[in-house]
Amino acid sequence: MRQLRTLRALADHGTVVAAAEALYLTPSAVSQQLAVLSKSTGCELLERRGRNVVLTDAARVLVAHADAVFAQLERAQSDLRALSPAPMTVRIAGFPTAVMAVVAPAMKALRGRHPEWGFEISDTESEESVARLIEGSIDIAVVMAAPNRPLLGDPRIKIMPLLEEIYVAALPEDHPFAGAGTVSLTDLVEDPFVLAAEGLSCHDQVSAICADAGFQPRGRHRATDFSAALALIANGFGVSLLPTLGVPAEVPEGVVLVPLKEDWPRRVSLIAMRAGAEHPEVVAALSEAAARLVR
């Protein structure tokens, strides 16, 4: 199993050095494990290309089987937990607003039912959460569905729907549409947008929503935290789109929230676990917390 995980790390990270860093091993230890695996399978697993190595066809076949083996081990662990319940530690991550509105109350409810359980909760962006699931440092995550997220389609990851939120437009109080009952996305074409940092799911989601409406948002300002974004909007630096969980209990002075005319923009949140894993009580607690929110 250790050798298969090493091969999988090489497939993920591309180089022996990067795989070694991911596994907290030395490059020589990685090379030795791969050499042992090659000998035990009777197949050449690596092909040298210049100063680097690439996986052979045999290695890629073995990686696919390794994923199936890892998933089966997750199922075995889940079955054993069901047969012999014992105190466990829930290792869970979520993006910031999900931790605030869903994860924290869900874990509080679980702690009330199982005071003997331990909890490790991380405020982590979706991209990092999925990577941590794969590497095994967490067991469950609440993530955003967003374009260009290949890890969510990774066969090692199982996802299920959790929550769907609408978006509203956040505008400066002197904006031409601030007093309107609704605003269309196309009414904001000429406005500078306050966007999250590039590469984050929040950024990609808003960009995709605007692209579906026929334009690319002019993202002149960057603010990943919704409070910072609202501060920029209140001071007249642009507009943005906020999902339901991003709307504060008290909207800052200088900001007006206007419903969108379009009813299709949605932010979809997912529960993600390793393939084969079953955490029914955790999933149920998350689903119960999400069901209490306004969609």
Place 83 in a pLDDT band, splitting at 50, 70 and 90.
confident
Q: What is the DSSP letter of 103?
A: I
DSSP string, 135-193: HTS-SEEEEE--SS-GGGG-TTEEEEEEEEEEEEEEEETTSTTTTSS-B-GGGGTTSEE
The reported pLDDT for the residue numbered 128 is 92
The pair of three-digit structure tokens given for residue 38, joined into one six-digit string: 């090659």
The pair of three-digit structure tokens given for residue 183, joined into one six-digit string: 């605003």
Whether 173 shows a pLDDT value over 90: the answer reads yes
Report yes or no: 255 and 230 within 8 Å, Cβ to Cβ: yes
Write the pLDDT tens digit of every residue in 252-294.
999 999 999 998 889 999 999 999 999 999 999 999 999 998 5
What integer is the mean pLDDT of 4-26?
Answer: 93
| Contacts for 228 with CB less than 8 Å, ≥ 6 apart | none
| Alpha-carbon distances of 39 from 16, 28, 46, 113, 156, rounded to whole Å | 18, 16, 12, 50, 26
Which residues are paired to 260 by β-bridges?
183
Strand bridging mode 89-94 / 240-243? unpaired
Q: What is the DSSP letter of 251?
A: P
Whether 28 shows a pLDDT value over 70: the answer reads yes
The reported pLDDT for the residue numbered 149 is 81
The reported pLDDT for the residue numbered 146 is 85
Place 56 in a pLDDT band, splitting at 50, 70 and 90.
very high
The reported pLDDT for the residue numbered 273 is 96
The reported pLDDT for the residue numbered 295 is 47
What integer is the mean pLDDT of 88-103?
Answer: 96
% residues pLDDT > 70 (the chain)? 99
The pair of three-digit structure tokens given for residue 126, joined into one six-digit string: 């979706």
Write the pLDDT tens digit of every residue in 199-230.
889 999 999 999 999 999 998 899 989 999 99
Strand bridging mode 89-94 / 140-144? parallel
CA pair distance 197, 194, nearest whole angstrom? 10
Report yes or no: 9 and 134 within 8 Å, Cβ to Cβ: no
Query: Where is pLDDT greater, at 161 or 263?
Result: 161
Give SS3 for 218.
strand
Q: Crossing angle of helices 280-291/104-113, nearest 10°?
A: 130
Share the mean pLDDT of the chain.
93
What integer is the mean pLDDT of 116-126?
Answer: 95
Whether 171 shows a pLDDT value over 90: the answer reads yes
Phi and psi of 144, rounded to 5°? -95, 140
What integer is the mean pLDDT of 72-95?
Answer: 89
Burial class, 280, CB count within 10 angstroms (exposed 0-12 / middle 13-18 / buried 19+): exposed
Whether 130 shows a pLDDT value over 90: the answer reads yes
Report yes or no: 165 and 263 within 8 Å, Cβ to Cβ: no
Report the alpha-carbon angle 181-226-228, nearest 5.
Answer: 110
Total-model pTM: 0.84
Phi and psi of 18, rounded to 5°? -65, -40
CA pair distance 4, 62, nearest whole angstrom? 8
Give the chain's length: 295
